[in-house]
A and B are shown apart, each in its own frame.
Chain A
Amino acid sequence: EADIYQTPRYLVIGTGKKITLECSQTMGHDKMYWYQQDPGMELHLIHYSYGVNSTEKGDLSSESTVSRIRTEHFPLTLESARPSHTSQYLCASSEFTYQETQYFGPGTRLLVL
């Protein structure tokens, strides 16, 4: 079982603000992911990383950016929040193994007014 943390859990913010969603894991996993999920809907991959200094875009186009300066930390930034960014954001991590199970953080619920 992985220990993976996300802050904040809930965020209400006005349009145009810059926000950073934090994600940290203590398992030493090389691979990390960000998903976007609207209520009751499927998850969509927006960013992932193979390791330090590696970032890739996922299947769903997103205006967010990510960085990976440390193995354990994978923050997501929105430079200018808009109401269309209202969603839940889930962070996950996995090891490079045969199974490569992804373990998820508790999520951040973002509401942009």
Chain B
Amino acid sequence: AQKITQTQPGMFVQEKEAVTLDCTYDTSDQSYGLFWYKQPSSGEMIFLIYQGSYDEQNATEGRYSLNFQKARKSANLVISASQLGDSAMYFCAMREGYGGSQGNLIFGKGTKLSVKP
């Protein structure tokens, strides 16, 4: 069974509008971490935002916020005021537990976001 599910292979958004990228996860661990990465066409993976399973507040980093709904096991990324430079692949990832092999990330299949001028 997939541990990280991103159901939107591709998304379009108009410049300056907000967009939500969906991510659901599956784990029986109580301690886990959720990450979002951006991958432009150049190929590098850029860390955007992190949410720990015990964090009570939703994480925010500039124009990025993470809508964390623990009971639903969802960790959606919200990008406000989209810019043309936001066009990229976006990957959701989960770390189950801490330390050792539990520190490794499991990635979703990604969502390709295209921002229209």
Give me the interface of A with B, judged by CB distance under 8 Å.
Answer: 31, 33, 40-43, 45, 48, 50, 56, 58-59, 88, 90, 92, 94, 96, 98-107, 109
A/B pair count, beta carbons within 8 Å = 61
Please report which residues of chain B, range 40-56, place their CB below 8 angstroms from some CB of chain A when the two chains form the complex: 42-47, 50, 52
Question: Out of A33, A106, A107, A109, which one reaches B104, CB within 8 Å?
Answer: A33
Task: State how many angstroms separate the Cβ of A32 from the closest Cβ of chain B.
Answer: 12
Q: A40-B112, A109-B43 are in contact. List 14 more A-B contacts (CB 8 A).
A: A31-B103, A40-B110, A42-B108, A43-B91, A43-B107, A88-B43, A90-B45, A94-B103, A99-B33, A99-B50, A100-B95, A100-B98, A101-B35, A104-B46
Looking at B42, B50, B103, the one whose CB has the most chain A CB atoms below 10 A away is B103
Q: Which of B95-117 contact A (CB under 8 A)?
A: 95, 98-101, 103-105, 107-110, 112
Task: Say whether B89 faces chain A, with CB atoms less than 8 Å apart.
Answer: yes
- Do B43 and A98 touch (CB < 8 A)? no
Please, which residues of chain B bring their CB within 8 A of the CB of A101? Answer: 35, 47, 50
| B103 proximity list for chain A (CB < 8 A) | 31, 94, 96, 100
In the bound complex, CA of A56 to CA of B101 (Å): 9
Report yes or no: B95 in contact with A42, Cβ–Cβ below 8 A: no
Q: In the assembly, what is the distance between CA of A40 and CA of B112, in Å?
A: 8
For chain B, residues 58 to 117, give those with C-beta under 8 angstroms from any C-beta of chain A: 89, 91, 95, 98-101, 103-105, 107-110, 112
When C-beta atoms are compared, the residue in chain A nearest to B102 turns out to be A100
Bound-state CA distance A48–B99 (Å) is 13
Q: In the complex, what residues of B have CB within 8 A of residue A102's CB?
A: 35, 47, 105
